[in-house]
Amino acid sequence: MNTEYNMKQSAAERAAGYVQSGMKVGLGTGSTAYYAILKIGEMVRAGLDIQAVATSRASEELAVQQGIPLTPVRDIDRLDLTIDGADELDGMLRLIKGGGGALLREKMTAYRSDKLIIIADETKEVPVLGAFPLPVEIIPFAYEWTVQSLKELGCSVQIRRDREGAVYETDNGNYIADCSFGRISEPEELAAGLTGIPGVVEHGLFLGMADQAIIGCRDGSVRIIGADSASE
């Protein structure tokens, strides 16, 4: 039986196979995207010629370590492909993202990508979103008001903290409110409600953005949902 590590690595390495020389590529953030960056770095050192944009400082640092050439965002209009992970995904490729704290940059990058490939292990697949608390990036000013507005949508809220117990700050200097809604049966409706709250910068519901998901399975296979669906 494959471990979580192996499942993530299998999915990530399959996704990296879609990267071709000449592409402009978005590099995601998180434990599964980590393996994709490692594989792409290996490919670059073997001669792959790409331009890349990272979705977080952590991914940027890893890319530099791996020798992946990073291009300033201002010099790139669109990306050919972004490879990123997810905290949850359903059968319609609706996602919860933001467990790694990079949801705003991840969503901006996905929006400017011609194709978004999601990589995950099979434990991230769910019939209904919501078991994973939904991350919402909020501004620090009057964040207590924003938290109250979030609670009025029907969730409990925890302001994310770092390992030392201080309030966690995103790469953009904002806070993350982790919102526990339970079953999110109408994610589109919830997304609209979240967007309407002043103080909310962005939420971790990625709806209608993913083109394909590559799932690493316990039995060693890799399953693909969406375009070019196949398994091995």
Would you name the residues annotated as active-site residues?
106
Residue 32 makes CB contacts below 8 A (sequence gap 6+) with 8, 11, 12, 85, 119, 120, 121
Residue 27 makes CB contacts below 8 A (sequence gap 6+) with 33, 36, 37, 40, 52, 53, 54, 55, 59, 63, 68, 82, 83
Q: How far apart are CA 136 and CA 210, in angstroms?
A: 19
Question: 72 is written with which tokens?
Answer: 């300033």
Q: How far apart are CA 111 and CA 160, in angstroms?
A: 25
